[in-house]
Structure 1
Amino acid sequence: MEIRWLEAFIAVAEELHFGRAATRLRLAQSPLSQTIRKLEKELGEQLFDRSTRSVALTPAGHAFLPHAHRVFEELELGRQSTRATSGEVYGTVSVGFSGALNHLTLPPLTRAVRQRYPEVTLSLTARVVTRDGIEQLEQGGLDIALVGLPIAPSPVHTRLIGREPLGAALPVDHPAAGESAIDLADLAGDGFIASPATAGSALQELTLQACVKAGFRPRVVQEITDPYMVLTLVSAGVGVALMPSCVAGIMPSASVFVPLRDDPTFMDHALAWREDNPSPVLRAVLEVAEEVLPTPEK
């Protein structure tokens, strides 16, 4: 089995079109088809269902795809390791983050990595809530995730990088919008905008905890996972939301952030990664993170 056979298989599996895959690989379509047939003969299984109109992975193709990806991941790790022996840090680290909630933590990290290691690429994936981030780390889809604590038992390792009290995001025409601080119980009659309960968002869980502690369960009128879209809907007057204090400086027009007088409920931000991830470039990025995103004192 040759590496170029796997490369051809991955291209067809991702494009599900032999013509597009051939263009991607800079090949004619006929040699590409021959390569796929050689791979199928080597494996003794058909990897694609082909018709004149469509291409689809067979069950065997679906089963083989993650292993083909892993071969190329191992090759990349090998390249990184050989260059690391000469002191050069090179490669790609995939980072998942939620969006607006990370606007004080992600930029310092990406800027510092770019300045320290110009040959390192950070591949950024937005709208990754805590549970999705942990699952992708466990499955190898991400190297680092910015998550909220606590997390469920997992082989994933976390380090606290920020701690912020929750406050209220309100429309400007809300009766409490002009207050310097409010009691959370004052919002018991309002409709809340929150992430779906099934989304696995740490902020959604903290919102429920804070409201129950204040003596009520929030009446959710709109569910959405993107934190900045939550703020946008608040500014549109759809409802109110609880958000960490980091958003105070990025509130959309027609909305305000008001601190809470209650005993604070904190949003704990963390970096998460797999300790058994062998990537040397990941270690370099985590060392930079230790410098620019130190663990705060509680």
Structure 2
Amino acid sequence: MELRHLAGFVAVAEELHFGRAAARLHMSQSPLSQQIRLLERDLGVALFERSTRSVQLTAAGNAFLDSAREVLASASVARRAAQAAGRGEIGRITLGFAGVSSAVTLPALTRAAAVELPGVEMVLHGPKYSGETVGKIAEGAVDVGFATVSNSRGLAARLVRRDRLMVALSDVHPLAGRSEIALGELAGERFVAFPAARGSEVRELFVRSCLESGFSPAIVQEAPDSFSLLSLIGAGVGIALVVEAAQTIRLDHVVFVPLEGEAPVLPVSLVWREADESAVLRAVLDLAEEVLPTPD
């Protein structure tokens, strides 16, 4: 039993005329009659009563009609699902993100995907540090993600944001009212920072920038995430160099001041495995190019 035989049967059953059914199926009448005979032989029953003047369904034909329609409908649904999956319109993607920089880029992509790719299930995976995201992508636990490092072998990346460093300090700090602060002015300050052991790219950039400005920063306390870091700053424990996206976290008693001159920049990229050729990943990457274009 073939789907084309079922389609021919349904057409004849609905038209009750072989000529009209053949025209509807864009075929000649003779092959259609042959299909019906093959189907009847396969089933072992007559589906139609034929005469020179009319075509009528037999009792077996009537009993078979609804089931034949259901099979054709199911086949059509399966065909459309397979084609949609082949275009990347149906599937599952694990999207990794880390830190406050992702908090700026992530919603633009997920909201667009909800509208443009409603058949794609997007599962979010959020380790605290960028290096962890890259590791998860490299090992295959995450399909694509936002990260500030992408030098692992076998990974591809596209820049989506440049996040400048700025100073975060307590609102009662003597420098809190300034419009800009030169990095060298912070040489005698007490700093809070992310843990060195966790591979924080923000910490590495902060320490490197201070050393290039002629001093080694005095780090008095570490914090595991941006919220905790800013809470320490608001409590007066110390100051910090943070990415500008940290301003999305609004806490009382914390102010942000730009650095004077050309501030150090942390690049944020969309990272994925080069060898991953899945259609759903390509659809997400194409959408990301529209909503998160590479900055000039």
User: Under a length normalisation based on structure 2, what TM-score does the superposition of the two structures give?
Assistant: 0.68
Which residue in 2 is equivalent to 1:61? none
Question: SS of the counterpart of 1:285?
Answer: helix
Question: SS of the counterpart of 1:105?
Answer: helix
1:181 aligns with 2:180: yes
Question: SS of the counterpart of 2:256?
Answer: strand
Letter in 2 for 1:96: G
**Cα deviation, residue 221, structure 1:** 1.7
Distance in 1, Cα, partners of 2:224 & 2:276: 28
The C-alpha deviation readout for 1:82-136, integer Å capped at 9, x for no partner, is: 3535656112211111132222211111100111011212111223412111111
1:146 aligns with 2:156: no
CA 127–236 in structure 1, closer or farther in 2 if over 3 Å, else same:
farther
**Cα deviation, residue 215, structure 1:** 1.1
Distance in 1, Cα, partners of 2:160 & 2:224: 22
Letter in 2 for 1:189: G
Distance in 2, Cα, partners of 1:138 & 1:280: 19
Preserved CA contact (<8 Å) 1:155 1:274? yes
- Structure 2 gap segments, 5+ residues each: 1-78
Which residue in 1 is equivalent to 2:227? 228
1:120 aligns with 2:120: yes
CA 256–83 in structure 1, closer or farther in 2 if over 3 Å, else same:
same
Runs of 4+ in 1 over 6 A off after TM superposition: none
Preserved CA contact (<8 Å) 1:161 1:271? yes
Which residue in 2 is equivalent to 1:242? 241
Letter in 2 for 1:152: N
CA 128–247 in structure 1, closer or farther in 2 if over 3 Å, else same:
closer
Letter in 2 for 1:124: L
**Cα deviation, residue 207, structure 1:** 0.6
The C-alpha deviation readout for 1:125-177, integer Å capped at 9, x for no partner, is: 2234121111111110111121114x434211111001132110111111101
User: Under a length normalisation based on structure 1, what TM-score does the superposition of the two structures give?
Assistant: 0.68
Letter in 1 for 2:209: A
Distance in 1, Cα, partners of 2:184 & 2:107: 35
Which residue in 1 is equivalent to 2:98? 98
Which residue in 1 is equivalent to 2:89? 89
Preserved CA contact (<8 Å) 2:183 2:260? yes
Preserved CA contact (<8 Å) 2:109 2:287? yes
Higher mean alpha-carbon deviation, 286-295 vs 273-282, is at: 273-282
Which residue in 1 is equivalent to 2:294? 295
Give the number of the structure whose alpha-carbon radius of gyration is greater: 2
Preserved CA contact (<8 Å) 2:191 2:219? yes
Question: SS of the counterpart of 2:196?
Answer: coil
Distance in 1, Cα, partners of 2:110 & 2:189: 38
Letter in 1 for 2:211: V
